[in-house]
Structure 1
Amino acid sequence: MQETKILWADDEINLLKPHILLLNEKGYHVTTFTNGNDALEAFGKEHFDLVFLDENMPGLSGLETLSAIKNIRSDVPVVLITKSEEENLMEDAIGSKIDDYLIKPVNPKQVLLTIKKIIDNKRLVSERTSSAYQQDFRNIGMTLNDKLSYEEWVDVYKKLVFWELELEKLDDPQMHEILTMQKSEANMQFSKFIEDNYLGWVNGKEKAPLLSNELLKKKAFPLINENTPVFFILIDNLRYDQWKIINPLISEYFRLDEEDTYSSILPTATQYARNSIFSGLMPLEMERKFPSLWQNDDDEGGKNLHEETFLGEQIKRSLRKDCKFSYHKILTFDQGKDLTEKVGNLMDNEFNAIVYNFVDMLSHARTDMQMIRELANDDAAYRSLTLSWFEHSPLLDLLKKISQKRVKVIITTDHGTIRVKHPSKVIGDRSTNTNLRYKQGRNLNFNPKEVFLIKNPHEAQLPKINISSNYIFAKEDQYFVYQNNYNQFVNYYNETFQHGGISLEEMIIPVVTYSSR
């Protein structure tokens, strides 16, 4: 550990020798002065990590010395030592940005505690965090070897996200590397879990978690009543970790009633997952019930153009009564701003569904634009960009406005996204879809160890374009690359954020309920 250098100025410094000796024994290097002028001269020439100033020195007072020190280097913490706790003195000191103060007579333990609080705090927090994760690392590792239920997988994922956010605060590359390896191991085991259980879930043969097609029925519709408007806000592509970092801002205006997760259906792609949410149906059911509205992968045109119609049909089917509702899809800043300005018109509705597409656009922009790639070069930066958007978004403005009324708010998403790192070769004909995390087609050629194969799409409640169609899903952080132009595809798509396949990040996603304070 690098030696901590302390400057201490006090006109009675000789009386403080026991304090200085103790600090030297503890490994701190203390330089002493009896007046503010000498202290300032030394401060201008040398680097110090911390300054102790006596408030009542002859000549240049403690507060005057403090002000001069802050003008030279404002980032160095300063502790004022005073005989007085007079209010105006404390106000002046706080206004001059002291980091702490001590009342004379001070004892050596007080001084040591102050140093640890100011200088050693970051190191001590880092050591405690690293130690706590190392302990939990072993526990998580042992858990991954068990036969886990879906609920237990949710707990594992939440723990991994917790540690990811905690370790992000530390400058400890080794701990980050260990966590990355553990997340990779968890995703490998989770992919096996999905392969073993997904078909049973969607066919009612096994107890299923909450899936996309029942999200509104189970989480939103029970909240509808005539007195309290419900705002169902779906932020496309919002992962659980991204919700965790925007939640503190939301919680400034709302009370968190329930934090929960649900599982996206496969494919974890907007066309399938979001249509399933608003229709309350699995994709195969949508194709059969709405043949003129459902769009298969090979159909031309937008794939999510009928969500309002799907929502209206589901409300009629589920509530069996009239319900005044609205649906809005926000694709641009101006659309978001316009809705915020007119949000008063929504207060007469029992249910308001709003889709915000920014995070989805961010993930695509990161793929297509070099500048965004550099700004979001890893998961931490991707979260940071999401937070920055949210802080300045029309969505936050809308939430602030409706928080002044009596409302219920649900924040959720249709699927998450994963940063892909490992290419998986696939060969398909011209009708094969372009998504990097799942493929639908016939005569697909692939490495069977790297995919979840569904030979009969109807077993997964999925439509099939023709009688011999298969679906394959990329697992963990893999992405599909065609044999032709392999290197070009890898250079373009490696380390980009994609969705459609199987991973904790894509499938275990937040659904959170808030109410007005």
Structure 2
Amino acid sequence: MNKMRILWVDDEIDLLKPHILFLEKKNYSVATCKSGSEAIDRLENENFDIVFLDENMPGLAGLETLNEIKEKQDNLPVVMITKSEEEYIMEEAIGNKIADYLIKPVNPNQILLSLKKNLDHSRLISEKTTSNYQQEFRKIAMDLSMVNTYEEWVNLYLKLIYWEIQLEDIEDAGMFEILESQKNEANIQFGKFIDKNYAEWFKPHTEAPVMSHTLFKEKIVPEISKEQPTLLVVIDNLRYDQWKVLEPVINNYYKKDKEDSYYSILPSATQYARNAIFSGLMPSDMEHLFPEYWKNDTDDGGKNLFEAEFLDTQMKRLGLTNFKFEYHKITNFKTGRKLTDNFKSLKNNDLTVVVYNFVDMLSHSKTEMEVVKELASNDKAYRSLTLSWFKNSPLLEMIQQAQQLGFKLILTTDHGTINVKSPSKVIGDKDTSLNLRYKTGRSLTYDSKDVLVAKNPKDLHLPSINMSSSYIFAKSDLFFAYPNNYNHYVSYYRNTYQHGGVSLEEMIIPFAVLQPK
């Protein structure tokens, strides 16, 4: 293995001989020079892994040398070493992207720590992360055998997401495969839990999680007030792991007041879950009370065209008629840009609701476009693509403006999505719904071990298309496929992102309340 090469620049380099000998014993190669100009010359002709740079030198001073190094080799780590603790020197150095800042006199262990931090950083993090996950693996496996409440499932899922994000950049692919198998096992057990408990949650006097139809009343209403405007952002189809990678960007403008979760209703699909959020009702009640707003799967036309009207009815039902609110749905860049440009006009609202549809479009595009299949080939890439969109979106600009205007920010979604891997054969008549993760219709034939079944839709507060309709929901990472043209269909939809079924990714939803910094 080649030794790491250090260039140490100090006009009193002879006094540092003990430090240099110490580093050479630790298997580092140390080259020295006594001036900034000499350092620049050496860097043009030789390759180094890191530079130790004295701030106070005659001739070309440390900060000037730093500027020249960064102009030529922006990615070369530079550790500034100085006798001065003056704030402006620190700020100048940090502004020029130094790797570390040490105050003289430095001891050998400080130098060694800085080297480890900058040169061995990835390897050390990888080893430590792997070691920590190996220990946590056993605990998660034990939790998985005992988890029995909706709160415990949330906690377990958040642990799996934490480790998924921690492990995604390490070199040990085997560890990531172990985590994947643990996630798969968790989803199998979660499917059994939902099968056993979901219908019970709707019975009187049964302890149940906050769900789509109770979210507004239970979690959002307590946060809105006449004293501070609130911006409620519902990013369609946003998974919990995607929220976790967006959160650091939002933290530049907002500090998190609370983070919580809730459960999507079944089907975990926009037409059902998001209408339930805004109406405060389950689908069968929407169909009964507001037939002019509700459309079933087999009806023509858009299924989420009346969210603003549903919200208005819920606000009135909850006695919130004195609150001024507006609802906006963003389905493309142009409408997002327009709302951003006019955002200041919303500052007099008590509640501004923005439904943002990009992530949903991304998941559908992955099914239909080869280029998106390449860009979002797995969950890591899907998170990365979502983050890239968000950083360059009108939505982020909207959040920045909301912070400047003093808005409270509530960010959530209606359901998540899962990367489907395995087909499950299903047979239905021509009126069977088209979704790949749930089906409703008459005379459905299916593999019972693959699905949660609602033979009587009213048990789950779902509408019936006709008298003998039932619902089935795919579990884990399965997707429904018809026997006709089976191989083509399976090949087309495998490894695409779908929603509507029973999985941790689709049903456990992030809910965050943030205050402007």
The aligned residue for residue 399 of structure 2 is: 399
For 1:231-270, what aligned pairs fall within 5 Å after superposition?
Answer: 231-270=231-270
Instruction: Determine if the alignment matches structure 1 residue 481 to structure 2 residue 446.
Output: no
Q: Which moved more, 1:52-61 or 1:243-252?
A: 52-61
**What is the letter of the counterpart of residue 389 of structure 1?**
W
Q: Pick closer, same or farther for the CA change 1:464–1:48 going to 2, 3 Å.
A: same
In 2, distance between residues paired with 1:35 and 1:345?
58
Could you tell me which runs of 5 or more consecutive residues in structure 2 were left unpaired when the two chains were aligned.
none
Question: 1:300, CA displacement in angstroms?
Answer: 1.1
Post-superposition CA distance 1:153-182 (Å, at most 9, x none): 111111111122222343332222222111
Q: Which moved more, 1:135-144 or 1:167-176?
A: 167-176
The aligned residue for residue 368 of structure 1 is: 368
The aligned residue for residue 160 of structure 2 is: 160
Question: 1:329, CA displacement in angstroms?
Answer: 1.4
**What is the letter of the counterpart of residue 478 of structure 2?**
Q
The aligned residue for residue 276 of structure 1 is: 276
Q: Which moved more, 1:254-263 or 1:335-344?
A: 335-344
The aligned residue for residue 199 of structure 2 is: 199
**What is the letter of the counterpart of residue 278 of structure 2?**
F
Conserved? CA contact 2:413–2:510, under 8 Å:
yes
Q: Pick closer, same or farther for the CA change 1:323–1:493 going to 2, 3 Å.
A: same
The aligned residue for residue 415 of structure 1 is: 415
The aligned residue for residue 111 of structure 2 is: 111
In 1, distance between residues paired with 2:56 and 2:515?
53
Q: Pick closer, same or farther for the CA change 1:71–1:230 going to 2, 3 Å.
A: closer
Q: Pick closer, same or farther for the CA change 1:319–1:448 going to 2, 3 Å.
A: same
Conserved? CA contact 1:197–1:206, under 8 Å:
no
Q: Pick closer, same or farther for the CA change 1:103–1:470 going to 2, 3 Å.
A: closer
Q: TM-score, normalised by structure 2?
A: 0.90
For 1:25-44, what aligned pairs fall within 5 Å after superposition?
Answer: 25-31=25-31, 43-44=43-44
Q: Pick closer, same or farther for the CA change 1:128–1:312 going to 2, 3 Å.
A: same
Instruction: Determine if the alignment matches structure 1 residue 190 to structure 2 residue 190.
Output: yes
In 2, distance between residues paired with 1:385 and 1:355?
19
Conserved? CA contact 2:336–2:395, under 8 Å:
yes
Instruction: Please state whether the residue corresponding to 2:318 is helix, strand or coil.
Output: helix
Conserved? CA contact 1:278–1:311, under 8 Å:
yes
Q: Pick closer, same or farther for the CA change 1:510–1:35 going to 2, 3 Å.
A: closer
Question: 1:508, CA displacement in angstroms?
Answer: 0.4
Question: 1:339, CA displacement in angstroms?
Answer: 2.1
**What is the letter of the counterpart of residue 496 of structure 2?**
T
In 2, distance between residues paired with 1:217 and 1:92?
50
Q: Pick closer, same or farther for the CA change 1:355–1:30 going to 2, 3 Å.
A: same
Q: Pick closer, same or farther for the CA change 1:33–1:128 going to 2, 3 Å.
A: same
Conserved? CA contact 2:226–2:323, under 8 Å:
no
Q: Which moved more, 1:30-39 or 1:339-348?
A: 30-39
Conserved? CA contact 1:203–1:460, under 8 Å:
no
The aligned residue for residue 382 of structure 1 is: 382
Instruction: Determine if the alignment matches structure 1 residue 453 to structure 2 residue 453.
Output: yes
Post-superposition CA distance 1:401-460 (Å, at most 9, x none): 232334333211110111111122222221111111111122222221111122111111
In 2, distance between residues paired with 1:28 and 1:91?
29
Question: 1:152, CA displacement in angstroms?
Answer: 0.7
In 1, distance between residues paired with 2:350 and 2:12?
72
Q: Pick closer, same or farther for the CA change 1:37–1:496 going to 2, 3 Å.
A: same
Conserved? CA contact 1:203–1:459, under 8 Å:
no
Question: 1:40, CA displacement in angstroms?
Answer: 6.3
Conserved? CA contact 1:229–1:349, under 8 Å:
yes
Question: 1:338, CA displacement in angstroms?
Answer: 2.0
Q: Pick closer, same or farther for the CA change 1:462–1:89 going to 2, 3 Å.
A: closer
Could you tell me which runs of 5 or more consecutive residues in structure 1 were left unpaired when the two chains were aligned.
none
Q: Pick closer, same or farther for the CA change 1:26–1:310 going to 2, 3 Å.
A: same
Conserved? CA contact 2:231–2:402, under 8 Å:
no
In 1, distance between residues paired with 2:71 and 2:249?
34
The aligned residue for residue 208 of structure 1 is: 208
Post-superposition CA distance 1:133-156 (Å, at most 9, x none): 222221111100004210011111
Conserved? CA contact 1:236–1:357, under 8 Å:
yes
Q: Which moved more, 1:223-232 or 1:79-88?
A: 79-88
Q: Pick closer, same or farther for the CA change 1:412–1:67 going to 2, 3 Å.
A: closer
Question: 1:498, CA displacement in angstroms?
Answer: 0.8
Q: Which moved more, 1:251-260 or 1:307-316?
A: 251-260
**What is the letter of the counterpart of residue 358 of structure 1?**
F
Q: Pick closer, same or farther for the CA change 1:264–1:27 going to 2, 3 Å.
A: same
Question: 1:211, CA displacement in angstroms?
Answer: 0.9
Question: 1:505, CA displacement in angstroms?
Answer: 0.8
Q: Pick closer, same or farther for the CA change 1:119–1:461 going to 2, 3 Å.
A: same
The aligned residue for residue 514 of structure 1 is: 514
Instruction: Please state whether the residue corresponding to 2:170 is helix, strand or coil.
Output: coil
Conserved? CA contact 1:36–1:59, under 8 Å:
yes
In 1, distance between residues paired with 2:7 and 2:223?
61
**What is the letter of the counterpart of residue 484 of structure 2?**
N
Q: Pick closer, same or farther for the CA change 1:485–1:117 going to 2, 3 Å.
A: same
In 2, distance between residues paired with 1:138 and 1:365?
38
Q: Which moved more, 1:232-241 or 1:390-399?
A: 390-399
The aligned residue for residue 306 of structure 2 is: 306
The aligned residue for residue 431 of structure 2 is: 431
In 2, distance between residues paired with 1:216 and 1:95?
44
In 2, distance between residues paired with 1:88 and 1:44?
29
Instruction: Determine if the alignment matches structure 1 residue 326 to structure 2 residue 337.
Output: no
Q: Which moved more, 1:77-86 or 1:354-363?
A: 77-86
Question: 1:249, CA displacement in angstroms?
Answer: 2.9
Question: 1:331, CA displacement in angstroms?
Answer: 1.1
For 1:89-168, what aligned pairs fall within 5 Å after superposition?
Answer: 98-100=98-100, 102=102, 106-168=106-168
Question: 1:337, CA displacement in angstroms?
Answer: 2.2
Q: Which moved more, 1:501-510 or 1:465-474?
A: 465-474
Give % identity: 56
Q: Pick closer, same or farther for the CA change 1:187–1:54 going to 2, 3 Å.
A: same
Question: 1:351, CA displacement in angstroms?
Answer: 3.0
Q: Pick closer, same or farther for the CA change 1:8–1:196 going to 2, 3 Å.
A: same
In 2, distance between residues paired with 1:400 and 1:9?
43
Instruction: Determine if the alignment matches structure 1 residue 463 to structure 2 residue 463.
Output: yes
**What is the letter of the counterpart of residue 296 of structure 2?**
N
Question: 1:503, CA displacement in angstroms?
Answer: 0.7
Q: Which moved more, 1:89-98 or 1:326-335?
A: 89-98
Conserved? CA contact 2:340–2:395, under 8 Å:
yes
Q: TM-score, normalised by structure 1?
A: 0.90
The aligned residue for residue 338 of structure 1 is: 338
Query: C-alpha root-mean-square deviation of aligned residues, in Å?
Result: 3.0
Instruction: Determine if the alignment matches structure 1 residue 219 to structure 2 residue 234.
Output: no
Q: Which moved more, 1:70-79 or 1:196-205?
A: 70-79
Q: Which moved more, 1:97-106 or 1:251-260?
A: 97-106
Instruction: Please state whether the residue corresponding to 1:403 is helix, strand or coil.
Output: helix
Q: Pick closer, same or farther for the CA change 1:93–1:452 going to 2, 3 Å.
A: closer
Q: Pick closer, same or farther for the CA change 1:295–1:48 going to 2, 3 Å.
A: same
Question: 1:53, CA displacement in angstroms?
Answer: 4.9
